[in-house]
Amino acid sequence: MAGTKPPHDDILDAPLRQALGERYLAYALSTITHRALPDVRDGLKPVHRRILWAMRLLKLDPGEGFKKCARVVGDVIGKYRPHGDQAAYDALVRLAQDFAARYPLVEGQGNFGNIDGDNAAAYRYTEARLTEVAQALLDGLDEDAVDFRPTYNAEDEEPAVLPAAFPNLLANGSTGIAVGMATSIPPHNAGELCDALLHLIKHPNARDDKIAEIVPGPDFPTGGLLIEPHTSIVDAYTTGRGGFRVRARWHKEEGARGTYQIVITEIPYQIAKSKLVERLAELVLQKKAPLLGDIRDESAEDIRLVLEPRARTVEPEVLMESLFRLSDLEVRVPLNLNVLGADQIPRVLSLKEALLAFLAHRQVVLVRRTQFRLGKIEERLELLGGYLIAYLNLDEVIRIIRYEDEPKQRLMAAFELSDRQAEAILNMRLRSLRKLEEMEIRKEDKDLKAERKELKNLLGSDEMQKARLAEEIRSIKERFGQKTALGRRRTEITHAPVISVELEDALTAREPVTVICSEKGWIRTMKGHVPFDTEAKFKDGDRGRFWLPMESTDKLMIFATDGRFFTLPVDKLPGGRGMGEPVRLMIDLPNDRDIVTMFSHDPARSLLVVS
Q: Which residues are catalytic?
A: 125
Task: Write the single-letter amino acid at 595.
Answer: I
Contact call for residues 168 and 353 (beta carbons, < 8 A) = no
Contact call for residues 563 and 513 (beta carbons, < 8 A) = no
Contact call for residues 221 and 199 (beta carbons, < 8 A) = no
User: Bridge partners of 68?
Assistant: 127
Contact call for residues 157 and 169 (beta carbons, < 8 A) = no
Cα-Cα end-to-end distance for the chain:
113
Q: How far is residue 402 from each of residues 386, 388, 414, 473, measured CA to CA in Å?
A: 18, 20, 15, 56
User: Bridge partners of 549?
Assistant: 514
Taking each helix axis as running N to C, give the angle between helix 419-426 and helix 351-392, from 0 to 180 degrees, rounded to the nearest 10: 60
- In whole angstroms, what is the distance from residue 520 CA to residue 543 CA? 8
Contact call for residues 244 and 493 (beta carbons, < 8 A) = no
Contact call for residues 458 and 464 (beta carbons, < 8 A) = yes
Cβ contacts of residue 432 below 8 Å, gap of 6+?
none
Cα-Cα-Cα-Cα dihedral sign, residues 505, 507, 511, 514: negative
- Indicate the SS3 state at residue 115: coil
Q: Tell me, what DSSP letter sits at residue 155?
A: S
- In whole angstroms, what is the distance from residue 375 CA to residue 521 CA? 101
Contact call for residues 80 and 158 (beta carbons, < 8 A) = yes
Contact call for residues 492 and 226 (beta carbons, < 8 A) = yes
- In whole angstroms, what is the distance from residue 329 CA to residue 321 CA? 10
Contact call for residues 102 and 93 (beta carbons, < 8 A) = no
The sheet with strand 522-527 has its strands ordered as: 544-551, 512-518, 522-527, 581-582
Contact call for residues 308 and 293 (beta carbons, < 8 A) = yes
Q: How far is residue 563 from each of residues 398, 548, 559, 611, measured CA to CA in Å?
A: 124, 21, 7, 8
Could you tell me where the DSSP H helices lie in 496-579? 503-506
